[in-house]
Structure 1
Amino acid sequence: MAKELRTKVCIIGSGPAAHTAAIYTARAELSPILFEGIPMGGVMPGGQLTTTTDVENFPGFPKGVLGVELMQKFKDQSEHFNTKIIGEWVERLDLGARPFKVHGGEGTVVVADAIIMATGAVARRLSFKGSDESGFWSKGISACAVCDGAAPIFRNKPLAVIGGGDSAMEEAVFLTKFGSKVYIVHRRDALRASKIMQRRALDNPKIEVLWDSVVTEAYGDNLLKGVKIRNVKSGEERDLELSGLFFAIGHDPASQLVQGVVDLDEEKYIKTVPGSTVTSVPGVFAAGDVQDKKWRQAVTAAGSGCMAALEVEHYLATLEDA
């Protein structure tokens, strides 16, 4: 039998956006209920930060902090202010009538006047020998150069970015600040990036493009030491010495729950009114990477979680006044 809970606001997610929204709404005495999900696909509740090691660019931690530890502190603070956290995935939402209903995967149903979608996005990763958690993921392989590129293990070492779009060019240029040389590994003979971004990368003396190439294997000891590269046209293989390999092949926003109900853009990110977290459905708000395709940082996600909480508080006040 389903267990039904009633609240003013239900938050779906477990990263910085979700927990910041929880902290703010809890302190506003809105009694938030937060669905944090369960471990799945190598990602724990807490989102993408749980797949990283040292986080050195989140304010308040001058010596850095482990991603898992940072997210535990977020969760501890949410619970300190009496956020109710449910360890279930959300199976579906009923948004056709108010109050809304949120159906958890183990039978919990939450009835809420407002919902904050903070389900995040997942960086696309390539699969080859040595690329996963049993290999060199977070030990030299990453999907966020801006997050991890300044780490000591990458300083003055050869690095590589896989991709051919604007994000790949931007990350490659960024990495030239730290690496001794930066390779762009691209499986085609032409880049997809805009002309201006191509120019910035190709004109940089520290960047070299490896055309028509794919990575087939990563190797090392405790840390990444190199990769095997195969030319897709000639079939020739060679070793490339590297200390860092960064995937820059896009992200997939976790917006499936609201697809067909809330307006999404062409890449499936939730559309919000510029400068706000308001979606196309009154009472449904979106914060963090599920609506942010540009910045995708922990601190910007936390900021948008704050915005969502304050906008929910205002929205609920208008309901009471109606």
Structure 2
Amino acid sequence: MSKIYDVVILGAGPAGLAAGLYAGRARMSVLIVEKGKDGGQIAITDEIENYPGQIVEGESGPSLIARMTEQCEKFGVERVTDVINDVVLEGDVKKLISAKGEYCGKTLIIATGAFARPIGCKGEKEFMGKGVSYCATCDANFFEDFEVYVVGGGDSAVEEAMYLTKFARKVTIIHRRDELRAAKSIQEKAFKNPKLHFMWDTVVEEVGGDGILSEMTVKNVKTGELTKIVADEEDGMFGVFGFIGTLPSTKIFEGKGLELDERGYIPTDDNMKTNIPGVFAAGDVRVKSLRQVVTAAADGAIATTQCEKYINEME
């Protein structure tokens, strides 16, 4: 049988790395399994300004994550890069199963994160973190006195658009319908905001620019007319924020006894406990009101301390 770790962590974003760090410092045997690069969504963020105690001027997502990874290595956290295709969550030993074999733990921390539903336009991937964003709280400061466009029409899109008006010179909501889907109370506030404008019956076809977002082509869904939007010459750029929903990375857990909400997120209590003893969830993958690096890291720390408590009670 494979080695049985005290803690197995699935995912190496801020939540998973924080969990690994706390487990390593507690002298627990710990394995982090990640299918790709460390960092999750934060790895595509060019600059970070809202992480408490930040010590590097112009901190980027990748640089912050690199230091988190180094901390884990310092405290003996084992790592493996692999794609998990099945799980066993019930019982005393939790198993992650891949084509290479099994990874077993007395406890499991699910830190697989969530990802923003893409806008779906040409050039989107290339300009992520270079003008295209999915988090107003993270990136609003970078667009102070610039023009910003928000894609979406639901509660989240309109609320985030109103938040952006505190920073941007002008905010335009681009919505594929001729009316918003947001709650009426939210709409009333939005329509009263003088910095908020609306582009109805419209979708984004393409974004572009010379290294930074400065051009966008939009399409009227009723007439088919294409319009090219170019950044103000003095600004040289603008921002496009996509708020058409996020998707949790939980498909592998469907039908495995783990409780998921109607959107696929994992409900937990304040101690990151799921409905299955010994299985914890941390970070963006769980049901929560704020998805930020700082809250993910806190979740990871809490989850690991609860893993230690769970193991002590079982022995």
Counterpart Cα distance in 1 of 2:165 and 2:20: 38
| Among candidates 139, 142, 145, match of residue 148 of structure 1 | 139
CA RMSD of aligned residues (A): 1.5
Indicate yes or no: 2:193 matched with 1:204: yes
**In the alignment, is residue 101 of structure 1 matched against residue 92 of structure 2?**
no
Match of 1:73 in 2: 67
Greater alpha carbon shift after TM alignment, 306-315 vs 58-67: 58-67
Match of residue 294, structure 2, among 299, 310, 313: 299
On the 8 A contact 2:118/2:242 being kept in 1, the answer is yes
Alignment partner of 1:269 out of 262, 265, 272:
265
Name the amino acid aligned to 1:262.
L
Letter aligned with residue 65 of structure 1: E
- Residue 19 of structure 2 corresponds to which residue in structure 1? 21
Letter in 2 for 1:313: E
1:285 aligns with 2:303: no
Runs of 4+ in 1 over 3 A off after TM superposition: none
Q: Please tell me whether the aligned partners of residues 157 and 243 of structure 2 are also in contact (alpha carbons under 8 angstroms).
A: yes
TM-score, with normalisation over the residues of structure 1?
Answer: 0.91
Q: CA deviation at 1:27?
A: 1.3
Distance (whole Å) between structure 1 residues aligned to residue 226 and residue 168 of structure 2: 24
Task: Give 2:34's aligned amino acid.
Answer: E
Q: In terms of mean alpha carbon deviation, does 235-244 or 65-74 score higher?
A: 235-244
CA positional deviation for 1:293: 4.5
Indicate the percent of aligned positions where both proteins have the same amino acid: 40
Cα distance per residue 1:92-136 (max 9 Å; x no partner): 11123321222234x142221110001000111123222222xx2
Runs (5+) with no aligned partner, structure 1: 39-43
Q: Deviations over 1:274-319 (max 9, x none)?
A: x221101111000000004531101000011111111111111110
Query: Which amino acid letter does the alignment assign opposite residue 189 of structure 1?
Result: D
The aligned residue for residue 318 of structure 1 is: 313
2:21, 2:128 → 1: CA distance? 31
CA distance in 1 between partners of 2:267 and 2:275 (Å): 7
Structure 2: give runs of 5+ residues left out of the alignment: 232-237
TM-score between both structures, scaled by the size of structure 2:
0.93
* Matched-pair contact (CA < 8 Å) for 1:25–1:31: yes
Q: State the SS of the aligned residue for 2:181.
A: coil
2:304 to 287, 296, 309: 309
CA distance 1:276–1:194, change in 2 (3 Å): farther
Structure 2 residue aligned with 1:41: none
**Structure 1: how far apart are the matches of 2:215 and 2:186?**
27
Aligned residue-pair number: 307
